[in-house]
A = this chain, B = another copy of it.
């Protein structure tokens, strides 16, 4: 292990935020020499990982994810917790996420010494982003963070990716007003471990209470989940910091339950395995293109496929015969 990695490793273990930030940058880098270093670093911190509560947060744009995380994260630090915030942004080509930087988005939390707010990784393939985010979770854990929040940014396919890397998946919703547009797929609702109706303050109090009732009824109709957990539905005001303790209470009850019945361990083990398979898939593909992309073979085949003179099956069986 070279000196610079040793330095990063010590820094992360000493809970130094700048070292943590640089470690995440290293893990995100695509440069081959950085990748080798990242591998060493990740292997070295492995024994120090796994001790955080991994919390995923999703919701449509405008639901107030950043404001909620700012308030909830500050609440947790006041309880003595160290809180890290990562975000995952597949940067869908169809719809862009927030154009504001994360620092601006979570003002209180960014200035909090017990918190670490990491700006979104730049545009990339979803799979790749998810891998880096998983590794960033591990780095935050090695740096002693008690709660690692992973937020979905933008609209896209990131909900499933986040769900598959966290212990608890929180869905933020709004009450009333243009429900067709705030629509979240039922599949996403069924993934949630808690539904939180945000912005229930001021003129929204009545609509919030009504929405809570409706979602409770809806949730009641969901098929039973394997963890035997009844999905709580609560209202919250992020701007007035109301409802945050109720929210955290549900999470601690959940955590005790899944730690007690072995579900947490089982679930994390399955997540890790799926992560391995995905990473392997990406590496195999990358190696293949590096090997065959150089001599133009693939481009010739792609041209033949495009002009309709070669079927996909034949193309692949020809390519892999060699």
The answer to whether A190 touches B284, judged by C-beta atoms less than 8 angstroms apart, is: no
- Interface mask (A88-107 → B, CB under 8 Å = 1, otherwise 0): 00001011000000000000
Q: For residue A319, give the distance in angstroms from its CB to the closest CB of chain B.
A: 7
A187 cross-chain contacts in B, Cβ below 8 A: 92, 94-95, 155-156
Option from B61, B186, B280, B281 in Cβ contact (under 8 Å) with A155 = B186
Q: Judge whether A261 is part of the interface by a CB distance below 8 angstroms.
A: no
How extensive is the interface on chain A, given as a class? 35 or more
Beyond A94-B191, A183-B185, A281-B284, list 12 extra A-B contacts (CB 8 Å): A42-B313, A43-B311, A43-B313, A46-B310, A47-B308, A60-B186, A155-B185, A155-B186, A180-B215, A181-B218, A272-B305, A276-B305
Q: Judge whether A123 is part of the interface by a CB distance below 8 angstroms.
A: no
Option from B38, B95, B156, B317 in Cβ contact (under 8 Å) with A313 = B38
Binding site for B on A (CB under 8 A): 35, 38-39, 42-43, 46-47, 49-50, 60-61, 92, 94-95, 135, 155-157, 160, 173, 178-191, 211, 214-215, 218, 223, 269, 272-273, 275-276, 279-281, 283-285, 287-288, 302, 305-306, 308-317, 319-320
